[in-house]
Chain A
Amino acid sequence: MTIVALVAFSFLSAPLVGWAGGRSWPLVAAVPLLLFAGFCFFLPILPAGEVALETYRWIPALGIDAAFRVDGLSLTFALLICGIGTAVFLYASSYLKGAPRLARFYTVLTLFMASMLGAVLADNLVLLVVFWELTSLTSFLLIGYSPERADTRRSAQQGFLITVAGGLAMLAGVILLGSLAGTFSITAILEQAEVIAAHPTAPAIIMLFAAGAFAKSAQAPLHAWLANAMVAPTPVSAYLHSATMVKLGVYLLARLDPVFSAHALWIALLTGFGALTMLTGAVLAMRETDLKRVLAYSTIVSLGTLVMLIGIDGELAAVAVVIFLVVHALYKACLFMVAGIIDHATGTRDSSMLGGLRRHMPITAGVALLGALSMAGLPPFIGFAAKELVYETGLELSGSWVLVVVALVANVSMVVVAAIVAIRCFYGDLSATPKAAQDPGFAMLAGPVVLAALGLVFGAMPWLISDSLIVPAASATAGAPLDYYLTLWHGFTPMLALSVLTLALGVMTYRRWDGLRLKLAAITTIDLWGPDRAYDGLMNGLQRLAAWQTNLIQTGSMRVYVGRTLLTIAAAGGITLVARGGLVLPSFADSFVPEIAIAVILAVAALAVVRARNFVAGIVAAGLVGFAVALLFLFQGAPDLAFTQFSVEALAIVIMLAIVGRMPFREHEYRSKPQRRRDRWVAISIGLVASLLMLSVLAQPFDDRLSVFFRETAVPEAHGRNLVNVILVDFRAIDTLGEIVVLGLAAIAAAAVLAGMRRAKQEERQ
């Protein structure tokens, strides 16, 4: 009850938060804070290795339950989502004061948070997919906060399309995995991990899930959307790219890691793409001057690190994943918010225009420094422990010096990015900025201060979170209970040497950064041939393809549409009839009865409709067809039909004649001679197929089971002696209900056309 209540509360509070947010009340932060407090109640169950499960029936026929699961991993994510959410909501209430569309913004932000919570807490893969797509949808709305700008629209669309395409791949993976495991329950799937990993379809499942997770977590070459998403307001960037959205892919991989951790493809894909992403992000981060984009690329580096760590099998890697995840969320949210504060206070966030801000905004400078030190991985910050673990994991794998080198490059870039944000902007000579800088108020500072402080507190006292959260989460990632004790200081180890090397290289790179940046920025190949351009090419190609096939199919001529439709029907019917051997002709014996005259009248009258030279003659001929059919009904024991047909025919003629006065009376054939010749052949072929089909049907023995049923049950069960009416109002009443709805709708639609014409007439008069 508790988990679903918390998720439901987060969704249901959205309108309320939107209402309060529309007035920029700091109170909006109360909802994530309450949720945070709520999830804290689950903390005591973790050290014992317990898992909280809740299952509700949702679609039992398909084996889909609304199931939720709280274990170390999902609780770590839930606490990050709510905790950082609290900071972000509070920050936004001040940052976005006076901005337009705030009520909508806060509603969507809350819905996004709720979807994230749902996704990480879901214990059913289908439920996970639903929440996953909801995060894509809501993040689309968040990134597209300023839809009047073209670049915003493009970025929002790009992020949406890439993550949703990944989501589709993941859905395919979910279905494959579900049918293989016989259940969609994550708990049940984890229990049969070995069977699944050994199955021949495992590689396909791995690739599909990896595609989904890579798209969401911006792994190279799908990383372009993340940097472009920086067009969003800073609170959104701080939230989406620290603890939420992009981490969801990481969550999915970590969640499934116990199943596939030993699979060669899993290891190759994750470590390979993770390492590629780390390098890509590290290089791209060095090219930027915009603080938010620099941070975005460093986020890509971190995401690559996380994916690589998940790919590495082993307990140490599992611990490294969790600790790195928490650390990154804390400092990245903090630094994004600092970038926003700088932007807000000075009017720019271009690092080349900033310097010496320390003098005007000392508190911000302090916060930035704390966050940056954790990011750079210096002791006694928790970031140090994370970095050491990454190195240790790499070193533990014998012969994987490649991964160690990649990690070194990645960590050096982290040091440089940290220095750009905390040192370059705040130290050195004071630069002139568009606005006079000063420290912001409580609402904007509280979050970054707390997050930065936590980086220090957790570093100094790792036991605070070690047993209660990190180790249970790592156990969930590893799939088995771990015995690990988190400490900051490991003594003089190879990892320490690497840390020192990282710092030295980082400082060196930072001092030469200006030259390096210009050189890297001069490589235009990255812009011309990068995945961002590939995305544009793909989208343009798609539009061109759509335009081409639309022009091909939709000629704009109704005559062509009708002709194609009829030909398709004739071909489908005719080919099936011949290919399936159904073409049988009945005997024409017993054909010489009086009714045969009606058949002749029908054919002659129908041909007369075509020959009619003016509309009235056409109506009369068509009416004759109708009356001939009515006569047939009358002679063949269908008085109800005959009656109806006569009155409908009369009414139709009245209506037809009524329009004669309003439309061109003379028959005019607009078709050219070749067009008419072509149409004649189409008409003849479909008429022929229709006749042959009908003849073949008549050659079959008649299946009278339904008729017999109606004959026998009408009186005893439906108390009616007119079988036609009994069938209409009783046996097939739902059908008749549908018919009268159609009848009513056609009439109402006609009335709407009439109303439109009246309005047009009135406008003409005015």
Chain B
Amino acid sequence: MIEIFLNEWKGFYRNRLMAVVALLFVASLALVTWLGVVQNQKQIESQLKAHRHIRAQWDELETMNPHKAAHFGSYAFKPNTILNSLDEGVNAVTGKVLRLEGHTQHDLVYSEASQSLLVSKFGKLMPSLLFQFVIPLFLIFLAFNTYAKERDSGRLKLLLIQGTSLQKILFSKILSIWIIGVLCLIISILTQVVFNGNAFHADFPLRMILMISSYSLYYLIITTLTVLLSAIFSSASVSLSTTIAIWVLWTIFLPKIVGNAVEKLSPLPTRVEFQKAMDEDRSKGIDGHNPSGERKKELEKEILAKYKVDSLSQLPINFDGIVMQADEEYGNMVWDKHFGKLYQQMQSQKRNYQFSGIINPFASLQNLSMGAAGTDMFHHLDFLKQAEEYRRVFIKTLNDKMAYGGSKTGDWDWKADSEFFKSVKDFEYKPISIKTIFPKYLTDILVLVLWAVVMLTLVNYTSKRISIL
């Protein structure tokens, strides 16, 4: 087998056109990876700059009423992961800026995609684009003829009569082509390490292993499929056109169709419907700014009883702060209910999409690639969750200051000092660990492994059944 493998490589190496193309390709891959790193670093810098700028404004607050400060609010900027430079995932279409304010949970806004004309329908020329679109196609072109040329030239008989088996020939050819894909991956990853090495966190090796394994499995599937079709079809051009048709179906067509279908299976509400439902539930709670609300009166009674006083003016604390926090907590409950449902719907869509891997291994690859790069929906939702958790702590700190900081009820002119504002903790996003995310991708991993096993079994079966004449 090793002889056939080495001979294939000798063939690639000695084909001048192929060698030039391969060299150019490897150079472009390294260049693209480097550009991806540059782009990512620029974005990370600008996110950090924006974050520091916004925080500095907060730290510069002299004196201010805490509730006014809650409306002054803050912003969370969605940070790019280091591996965003390999696969941008959802980051190009999701917003980057989240306003953190009292009473209201805002949306992530200002996506890159909304800031210019449409450029590429398939995304930026980042390593993921090459990994997912170009390398498989490259492997197809290397593999479609590898068996057919042996058969059509009659050399296959010569090889077999030398005592080697069809099985060995097919597997050696698959291996020799597959390794090229894997080498491309490794080159890109090495470039990534060289230019980005100092920024990697502890999760990096595991994420890289997941990414390399996923792509390697997919390349194995695509190479095996191509060689298999090349062995089954009597004409190389028919096998090529069939493989390309499958590539188009897998890479371009099915992800979109299945994406739409899963959205229809678990539909999301329109923004109007969603807001209406939220408003309805919200209206049942306390309105922090409405002194005559019934629920507010109940809370007032409760607090007066607790402090054993008869009127708000006798309270040693500021009841307005208590109301604001009660309002906040009710709002949080409503948010948890509605956004929880929304996120569940999104996750259910994702689960259904993952099952499409059974007919389209590319879907599993895409999922795993984004998951490993930390640019998938789970990481996105995790950011939103962490930002919301921070918002709650942030607003509670301000409301508590309002309530227990020394002011009295109705004293809206009371101001907290700058030291207090400086002491409010800043938002820091802690990237979710790959170990946490891993179980969510078991389906995709299993699907890819299953595809690879089925493909290899089919090649094995075909090698025993196929007529070589």
Q: Are both chains from one complex? A: no
Interface residues of A (CB under 8 A from B): none
